[in-house]
Amino acid sequence: MNYIIVDTNIVYGDFFLESKAWKKLLYLNHYSKCQVCVPQFVYNEILKKYGDSIAGVLNAVKKVGNDVIRYRIPGIETGKLRKKQIVEAYMKEFSRLLQEEGIEVIPYPQDSDYLERISERYFAYQKPFDVNKLSFQDAIIWYSLIDFAEEQGTDNNFFFITYNSKDFADENDVNLFHRELLQELTDEQRDAIHLYNGLDEFFVHNRELLDTYEREREEQREEQIERLQDKVKAYFAGITSFETQEKLYNILFEQCMLSDYMESELLNTYFESDYGEGWGEDLQLDETSIYISDVISEFDSDLRGYVTFYFSVDAEFAVVERNPMYEDSEDEEFLYDCGHNDTFDLQFQADFKIDDNILKEEDLDNIDLEEYIHYTNPDIDSY
């Protein structure tokens, strides 16, 4: 596993993780071999930094609010802004974001003597302390990192991402731990724990993680597309009635596509009748007398293709012809021979597109495909 542990300054100024670099990191966090982590101390410090950051904003709003009151500007309420409530709201949102993105919070060091170890470094002015830097925050983060690495095992990789090169990095290399910090690590830990000066540096030196993940995603997508296409073909092959397919039923019957085609065919076809020969009118179409004999579907691309339904329609109609007694008259009269029945063999073809949101579904076996299939360019013809 590749554990990516971020410092407070990686979040500071981007409190909702919306930068391009963070989006790339969150994308990588979906890789099964990567896990983004935030130490508990960093989590708490982020909340504090957020509160500190909005303090100036609230003061500015308060100043503007006084002008709003003085000039009696309607529709603007500034008196209800409270720092405590805003920070609490951010804490809920930030916690939700961490959970939603699968970011792990690392607990405080569990080693019972870590306070003693921090004290020793403090009095010896050893990194992350020095003569001019006596605050303890970085030391807690450092021992949280070591403790976490010991717990997970040094057969994993641990990438610590921080812009604080002054307190963590070597004087000559911002992507290398200071020698005083390395001295505290075992040989196995030195090989497993790495430092990078910000997210951009991390990605520059670990491009293979993204490349491997993207290859894995592409392979998974190809397998998913193949499974989906097999499922769609089986779905179409299993359709035995248009009545059970809301979208197809709407095209054929609600939009009158089938009846319009049939009426046109009757008008342009001659049938034998008791009076001779005439064309068809007064179509009586029973939706239950449609029999699908075959369905063929093909894909043109990953999520697009076409489907053809071969079906027969039993229709009742009247055969109409001109009354020969009125052939020489300006007035026409027609003879109707009702009750004719005939079977028409037709094919209905339409292009289809599968909504790409279907690829976000974890269980393709238990979804209603009709919700994701959209039809265009429908056409009916005889065969």
The CA distance from 263 to 317, in Å, is 10
Residue 218 lies in a domain: no
Average pLDDT estimate for 18-36: 91
Number of domain units in the chain = 2
Residue 210 lies in a domain: no
- pLDDT at residue 75 tops 60: no
At residue 299, the pLDDT reads 95
Which residue, of 183, 205, 227, is where some domain finishes? 205
Residue 223 lies in a domain: no
**Strand-by-strand arrangement of the 270-273 sheet:** 270-273, 276-299, 304-322, 334-354, 373-382
Residue 281 structural domain: 241-382
187 and 248, same domain (yes or no): no
- pLDDT at residue 131 tops 50: no
Average pLDDT estimate for 320-345: 67
Residue 234 lies in a domain: no
201 and 282, same domain (yes or no): no
258 and 309, same domain (yes or no): yes
**Cβ proximity of 316 and 340 under 8 Å:** yes
- Residue 354: which of 306, 282, 313 has the closest Cα? 306
- pLDDT at residue 333 tops 80: no
The CA distance from 42 to 150, in Å, is 19
Residue 123 lies in a domain: yes
256 and 341, same domain (yes or no): yes
- pLDDT at residue 360 tops 50: yes
Q: Which residues contact 256 (CB under 8 A, 6 or more apart)?
A: none
Residue 219 lies in a domain: no
- pLDDT at residue 180 tops 50: yes
Residue 278 lies in a domain: yes
23 and 105, same domain (yes or no): yes
- pLDDT at residue 355 tops 60: yes
Residue 268 lies in a domain: yes
- pLDDT at residue 122 tops 60: no
CA end-to-end span of the chain, whole Å? Answer: 60
If one counts every other C-beta atom within 10 angstroms of the C-beta of residue 198, the result is 19
If one counts every other C-beta atom within 10 angstroms of the C-beta of residue 381, the result is 11
